[in-house]
Structure 1
Amino acid sequence: MAKPGLSAAVLLLLLGFLSVSSVHADTLLSAPLNVTIRELEVNSAVVTWEILEGDPVIGFAITQQKKDVRMLRFIQEVNTTTRSCALWDLDEDTEYIVHVQSISMGGSSPPSQPVLFRTPKESEKMASKSPDEVMMEEVGQAAQLRAGELIIIVVVLIMWAGVIALFCRQYDIIKDNEPNNNKDKAKNSSECSTPEHPQGGLLRSNV
């Protein structure tokens, strides 16, 4: 027959194990689901995912790497409820592998299933565009060029207006100074003249 003290100790140990297991089960996160690559461009892409309802997720972590290359890029963000992330600075015509993990106060979830995608070539991206998209881009570029030309014309006109205004101001100053110069010349002429000769010259006697 088992001793009462030993039975109580075994019971307490079992209850403690069950409580720890229940807490661990509550904090364990599920891996993100339906990881998808959207808006795939030559040098960028957007990864989206879903989580199970009720998971206490406070952020995410993404690992991105080129296929057959060990170097990783790690992206992590917390205090957010977003379910998407932009991938930037990608190389064209290159295969990448992406994993997504959810983050909670208790830790991180297991990584999602890997997603493999390839960025397109620049030529392929241009070829895949419809004529309307190409036309819209050309119209946008033409509008930008026209706006730049208009800005240059306005700047040149402003500069010319400033030059003309400066010239007119200098001309007015010169014109205002002309009467004073004439008065000074007349004054100097009257001071140099003599009674015998009003023009200031000396009389000569003919011998």
Structure 2
Amino acid sequence: RQLWSYRPPAPVNVSVMHLRADSATVSWDVPEGDIIIGFSISQQRQEGHMQRFIREVNTTSRSCVLWDLEEETDYIIQVQSIGLYGESQASKKVHFRTLKKSDRFPSNSSNQDDPTVLGLDKSRHLQTGEMIIIVVVLVMWAAVIALFCRQYDIIKDNDSSNNKEKAKPSSERSTPEHHSGGLLRSKFHSSVPSINIIEV
């Protein structure tokens, strides 16, 4: 009883979102002040035919994705917090129903009747629509690369034909004209003074 008092309280606000035909995401909150080292989720059909437990430690995650669900099926889940001294009491039961599987996006999940398969450890397969998109993108890239190589060869051939040496036209040298300017010489006339002698 003393150890039970140290166990964490049950998770609150348990909700289910991102519903699909074969998967759903469970999220929850934990009260503050308690050391939580993991979680445990119990999942079962509403009819009670299958029971699955998902347990994960050394994590602070507050959500978990449930895989390998059946379409249009009612499920019941409960979440428990894992503390240092044990697990909490189970949360309130949450009911949800998966969606109808779309013909356009079929699910490739297997082992739906195997209760030991954990959704967290299973890798999802690529769906048919995603594969078609990837193939189309690869084909388009191949066409672009081929077109680029072809255009590059054409440009290279044109450049080699245009690089022939052409005779350069001889340019006439224009010699600067030098105009010789004549010097104007000024004539200086020396005036001889005339002396008139008057005899008295």
TM interval, short-chain normalised: 0.5 to 0.7
Note the 1:1-207 alignment, pairs <5 A.
Answer: 21=2, 24-25=4-5, 27-123=6-102, 143-150=133-140
How has the CA–CA distance of structure 1 residues 124 and 114 changed in structure 2, closer, same or farther, with 3 Å as cutoff? farther
Greater helix content: 1
Paired amino acid for 1:97? I
The CA deviation at 1:88 is 0.6
How has the CA–CA distance of structure 1 residues 93 and 107 changed in structure 2, closer, same or farther, with 3 Å as cutoff? same
Q: Deviations over 1:155-188 (max 9, x none)?
A: xx7xxxxxxxxxxxxxxxxxxxxxxxxxxxxxxx
The CA deviation at 1:109 is 0.3
The CA deviation at 1:152 is 7.0
What is the DSSP-based 3-state SS (H/G/I as helix, E as strand, rest coil) of the residue aligned with 2:134?
helix
How has the CA–CA distance of structure 1 residues 87 and 24 changed in structure 2, closer, same or farther, with 3 Å as cutoff? closer
The CA deviation at 1:125 is 10
What is the DSSP-based 3-state SS (H/G/I as helix, E as strand, rest coil) of the residue aligned with 1:37?
strand
8 Å CA contact 2:7, 2:84 repeated in 1: no
* TM-score of the superposed pair, with normalisation by structure 1: 0.52
Q: 2:143, 2:23 → 1: CA distance?
A: 37
RMSD, aligned α-carbons: 3.1
Long gaps (5+) in structure 2 = 106-128, 147-200
Percent identity between the aligned chains?
43
* TM-score of the superposed pair, with normalisation by structure 2: 0.53
> Comparing both chains, which one has the higher relative contact order based on Cα–Cα distances under 8 Å and sequence gaps of 6 or more?
2
The alignment covers a number of residue pairs equal to: 123
Q: Deviations over 1:186-207 (max 9, x none)?
A: xxxxxxxxxxxxxxxxxxxxxx
Q: 1:125, 1:140 → 2: CA distance?
A: 11
Long gaps (5+) in structure 1 = 1-19, 127-138, 158-207
What is the DSSP-based 3-state SS (H/G/I as helix, E as strand, rest coil) of the residue aligned with 2:80?
strand
